[in-house]
């Protein structure tokens, strides 16, 4: 582990400051006129295996609320403000891993057998004209072959890592360089409006987007209108909450089955922070008709939620930062760079069988606008792009329930490629002559000889979209008295979600998705461990079923959708309390069934004083690690040049035959746990309430 001297100095200074705080006087919630105010400071320091300091996050939170007199018939009027500002010092203290000095030159694996070293530097791939070791596959020295090759001046071999690091080596699959420095230092691969944070944006994330006002985390106004029911004369209530807020649906911890109204910021601490800290508040209006008891129902409420904010996707983490869930941010950045500037892709072009074994592939230099990600299509603000939902929630006998419906945009990106992707330039254009002859399409595989961009079925050239989704679901909880256990059940069905699918010419397809969680909570005495206090055991099993799943066995392996048709993730949370609840040991365990991935997070919270809380712990992942899936190198978008005929693939027909690699689709099999398999870390968190 590497921790810089600067980091240690900072940590020591921080501890001194906390030492002062420890001996400070007890602080209660403050009053400022009619306002009730709380202020909090938090330091979160994390050290990651083989990386060193991965997080030095310092957060200031101010929360204020006040009540107002009744306004006519409106009662219970109040205004709540929650402000948050963060400075993450890791970009200054460990800039070699995260920041302006991150990354470096890379060498990309080559299994062609033509390269003795087994890897070539970025920009020295086959067909690019810059590597004579490839012989005839080098193309014209300095010019390459056809439209292959790219200008290293625009895409230098520096400030990069190899896609997939440190989870796996390419393993004979595809890989390419990914720029990792902040976007003001290195703009390559940055996706405007989505993953384009400058160094300061990463240091101070709440101030990264001036339009979004993320530092104003929540600001909402509450009001109630009391009236007599037209049906029975009983008092009923219309409750309104308007402003920037989080709207929480469902009864599940960690998993988001119904709790999908607000997007989530996974860049803060992957999936491991409390959702309240990582939900991204949105400008939302909610109205609740609180009917109270109705017929056999002890309580019935009808809520309408209108998310009128401009669409915002989940924050998946920018490549070059500590938390890049599924490593998606790195894949996107690498692909965007490939599109914009061209680049070198590991193990891509097959070595003709006459020269090598089937499957041996040359690391290949692509030119700009040939493969990759062109742009992210974030929905604009229009009335039709706002999101609306409704919920009935009530109590019937001993069961609490909700029925939920939501029309929204997927907060996860969908990659539209191939036949629905961006028009791309064929690398095979002008293959024989360095001029565009504008020849008619002479051969099967149409249009491969001119430089007119066009959409090419099965081509790995994408735009990022966020499709519209419909969701219907519900939840309930009840007590199972004989075993003193509370059961929670939550389920939802969605229509419109999109998934990668190598069977489709557009490389994606829609699937209806059923998700469900069964949770069991039980307080249990274990007298020999804690005589006075119970242990909380909370078990959850999350299941996901893709109803329109497509998966076929190809000649070389499975093709279709990498997501599992059925998968389950189980979590077990255990906690107990000692010393008047000042000492709280906790253990979270999780297993992703199909991925064979596990995570464990033991931690201990200790209240050093009324206002100062210390948490220490570790986050450890283990299991099967990286997974492989069909990577579409075999999709043959430009037949016959890209055919995998030597492996039995069709010469003139596009479509995959099942060649696999870790990248890019293995991430959907390994899931968030498996994708962060190499991100074991220890952490220390100090929270101080100063007001």
Tokens of 465: 């979209």
Q: How does DSSP classify residue 200?
A: H
Query: Which helix (H) or strand (E) is 390 found in, with range?
Result: strand 387-396
d(CA 189, CA 337): 4
Which residue number, 220 or 629, has a Cβ lying nearer to other proteins?
220
| Shortest distance, position 220 Cβ to other proteins, whole Å | 10
Which residue number, 265 or 340, has a Cβ lying nearer to other proteins?
265
Which residue number, 505 or 617, has a Cβ lying nearer to other proteins?
617
Query: Which helix (H) or strand (E) is 277 found in, with range?
Result: helix 275-278
Which residue number, 234 or 566, has a Cβ lying nearer to other proteins?
234
Which residue number, 439 or 529, has a Cβ lying nearer to other proteins?
529
d(CA 414, CA 510): 10
Which residue number, 1 or 480, has a Cβ lying nearer to other proteins?
480
d(CA 336, CA 376): 10
| Shortest distance, position 400 Cβ to other proteins, whole Å | 6
Quick one: three-class SS letters along 9-42?
HHHHHHHHHHHHHHCCCCCCCEEECCEEEEEEEE
CB 430 within 8 A of CB 398: no
| Shortest distance, position 459 Cβ to other proteins, whole Å | 45
Which residue number, 617 or 661, has a Cβ lying nearer to other proteins?
617
DSSP assignment of 447-495 equals: S-SS---B--TT-SEEEEE--EEEEEEEEEEEEEGGGTEEEEEEEEEEE
Which residue number, 605 or 677, has a Cβ lying nearer to other proteins?
605
Quick one: three-class SS letters along 57-83?
EEEEEEEEEEEECCECCEEEEEEEEEE
Which residue number, 293 or 352, has a Cβ lying nearer to other proteins?
293
| Shortest distance, position 203 Cβ to other proteins, whole Å | 25
| Shortest distance, position 486 Cβ to other proteins, whole Å | 5
| Shortest distance, position 525 Cβ to other proteins, whole Å | 6
Does residue 581 sit in helix, strand or coil?
Answer: coil
CB 455 within 8 A of CB 421: yes
Place of tokens 């027909």: 653
Q: Residues 23, 25, 26, CA angle at the centre, nearest 5°?
A: 120
Which residue number, 151 or 229, has a Cβ lying nearer to other proteins?
229
Which residue number, 3 or 297, has a Cβ lying nearer to other proteins?
297
CB 514 within 8 A of CB 542: no
Q: HSE on the CB side for 515, CA within 13 Å?
A: 20
Which residue number, 227 or 381, has a Cβ lying nearer to other proteins?
227
Query: Which helix (H) or strand (E) is 286 found in, with range?
Result: strand 282-294
Q: Count of CB atoms within 10 A of residue 92's CB?
A: 18
| Shortest distance, position 299 Cβ to other proteins, whole Å | 4
| Shortest distance, position 248 Cβ to other proteins, whole Å | 5
Which residue number, 68 or 641, has a Cβ lying nearer to other proteins?
68
CB 400 within 8 A of CB 477: yes
Place of tokens 């060193």: 52
| Shortest distance, position 319 Cβ to other proteins, whole Å | 30
Using CA atoms, how far residue 337 sits from 198, 368, 649, in Å, is 17, 9, 30
| Shortest distance, position 270 Cβ to other proteins, whole Å | 18
| CA nearest neighbour of 491 among 471, 467, 468 | 471
Q: Assess whether the previous peptide bond of 664 is cis (omega < 30° from 0).
A: yes
Which residue number, 122 or 391, has a Cβ lying nearer to other proteins?
391
Q: Which residues contact 487 (CB under 8 A, 6 or more apart)?
A: 477, 478, 479, 480, 518, 519, 520
| Shortest distance, position 577 Cβ to other proteins, whole Å | 7
Backbone angles phi, psi at 116, to 5 degrees: -55, -35
| Shortest distance, position 449 Cβ to other proteins, whole Å | 60
Query: Which helix (H) or strand (E) is 332 found in, with range?
Result: helix 328-341
| Shortest distance, position 589 Cβ to other proteins, whole Å | 19
Which residue number, 304 or 433, has a Cβ lying nearer to other proteins?
304
| Shortest distance, position 422 Cβ to other proteins, whole Å | 41
> Which residues lie across from 167 on neighbouring strands?
none
| Shortest distance, position 408 Cβ to other proteins, whole Å | 19
CB 428 within 8 A of CB 146: yes
Residues lying near other proteins in the complex (CB under 8 A): 26-29, 36, 38, 40, 80, 222, 232, 234-235, 237, 239, 241, 246, 248, 250-251, 253, 274-276, 288, 290, 292-299, 301, 393, 395, 397-398, 400, 477-479, 481, 484-486, 488, 521-523, 525, 531-534, 577, 580-582, 605, 607, 610-611, 613, 687, 689
d(CA 194, CA 316): 9
Which residue number, 93 or 489, has a Cβ lying nearer to other proteins?
489
| Shortest distance, position 527 Cβ to other proteins, whole Å | 8
CB 54 within 8 A of CB 46: yes
CB 339 within 8 A of CB 290: no
Which residue number, 8 or 231, has a Cβ lying nearer to other proteins?
231
Q: Which residues contact 22 (CB under 8 A, 6 or more apart)?
A: 608, 609, 612
Tokens of 585: 């040991």
Helices (runs of H) and strands (runs of E) counted in the chain: 6, 32
Using CA atoms, how far residue 434 sits from 140, 216, 641, in Å, is 10, 56, 18
| Shortest distance, position 26 Cβ to other proteins, whole Å | 6
């Amino acid at each position: 582990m590497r921790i810089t001297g600067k980091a240690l100095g900072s940590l020591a200074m921080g501890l001194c400051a906390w030492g002062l705080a420890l001996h400070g006087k007890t602080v209660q919630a403050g009053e400022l006129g009619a306002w009730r105010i709380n202020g909090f400071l938090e330091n979160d320091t994390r050290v990651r295996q083989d990386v060193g300091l991965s997080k030095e996050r310092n957060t200031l939170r101010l929360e204020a609320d006040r009540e107002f007199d009744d306004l006519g018939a409106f009662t219970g009027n109040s205004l709540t403000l929650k402000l948050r500002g963060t400075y993450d010092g890791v970009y200054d203290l460990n800039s070699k891993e995260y920041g302006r000095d991150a990354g470096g030159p890379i060498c990309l694996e080559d299994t062609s057998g033509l390269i003795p070293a087994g890897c070539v530097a970025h920009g020295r791939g086959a067909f690019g004209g810059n590597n004579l070791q490839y012989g005839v596959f080098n193309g014209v020295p300095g010019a390459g072959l056809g439209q292959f090759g790219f200008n290293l001046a625009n895409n230098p071999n520096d400030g990069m890592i190899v896609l997939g690091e440190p989870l796996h080596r390419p393993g004979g699959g595809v890989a390419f360089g990914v720029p990792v420095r902040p976007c003001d230092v290195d703009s390559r691969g940055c996706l405007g409006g989505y993953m384009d944070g400058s160094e300061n944006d990463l240091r101070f994330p709440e101030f990264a987007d001036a339009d979004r006002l993320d530092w104003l985390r929540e600001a909402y106004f509450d009001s109630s209108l009391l009236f007599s029911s037209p049906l029975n004369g009983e008092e009923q209530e219309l409750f309104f909450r308007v402003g920037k807020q989080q709207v929480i649906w469902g009864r599940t911890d960690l998993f988001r089955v119904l709790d999908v109204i607000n997007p989530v910021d996974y860049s803060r601490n992957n999936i491991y922070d409390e959702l309240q800290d990582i939900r991204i508040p949105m400008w939302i209006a909610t109205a609740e008709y609180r009917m109270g008891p109705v017929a056999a129902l002890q309580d019935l409420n009808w809520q309408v939620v209108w998310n009128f904010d401009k669409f915002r996707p989940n924050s998946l983490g920018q490549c070059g930062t500590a938390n890049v869930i599924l490593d998606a941010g790195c894949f996107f950045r690498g692909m965007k760079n490939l599109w914009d500037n061209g680049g070198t892709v590991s193990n891509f072009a097959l070595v003709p069988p006459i020269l090598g074994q089937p499957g041996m592939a040359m690391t290949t230099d692509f030119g700009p606008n040939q493969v990759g990600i062109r742009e992210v299509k974030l929905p604009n603000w229009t009335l039709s792009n706002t999101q609306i939902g409704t919920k009935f929630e009530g109590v019937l006998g001993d069961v609490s329930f909700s029925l939920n419906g939501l029309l929204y945009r997927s907060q996860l990106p969908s990659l539209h490629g191939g036949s629905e992707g961006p028009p791309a330039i064929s690398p095979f254009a002008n293959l024989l002559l360095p001029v565009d002859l504008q020849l008619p399409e002479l051969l099967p595989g149409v249009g491969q000889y001119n430089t007119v961009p066009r959409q090419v079925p099965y081509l790995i050239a994408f735009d990022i979209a966020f499709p519209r989704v419909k969701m219907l679901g519900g939840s309930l909880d009840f007590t199972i008295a004989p075993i003193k256990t509370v059961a929670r059940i939550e389920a939802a069905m969605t229509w419109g979600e999109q998934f990668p699918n190598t069977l489709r010419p557009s490389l994606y397809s829609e699937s209806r998705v059923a998700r469900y969680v069964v949770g069991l909570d039980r307080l249990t005495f274990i007298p020999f461990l804690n005589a006075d206090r119970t242990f909380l055991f909370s078990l959850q099993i999350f299941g996901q079923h893709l109803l329109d799943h497509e998966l076929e066995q190809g000649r070389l392996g499975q093709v279709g959708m990498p997501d599992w048709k059925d998968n389950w993730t189980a979590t077990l949370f255990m906690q107990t309390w000692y010393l008047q609840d000042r000492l709280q040991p906790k253990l979270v365990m999780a297993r992703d069934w199909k991925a064979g991935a596990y995570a464990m997070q033991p931690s201990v919270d200790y209240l050093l004083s009324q206002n100062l809380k210390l948490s220490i712990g570790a986050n450890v992942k283990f299991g099967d690690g990286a997974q492989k899936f069909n990577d579409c190198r075999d999709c043959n978008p430009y037949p016959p040049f890209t055919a995998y005929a030597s492996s039995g693939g069709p010469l003139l027909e596009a479509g995959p035959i099942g060649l696999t690699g870790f990248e890019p689709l293995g991430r959907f099999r390994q899931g968030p746990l498996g994708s962060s398999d190499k991100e074991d870390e220890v952490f220390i968190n100090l929270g101080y309430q100063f007001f």
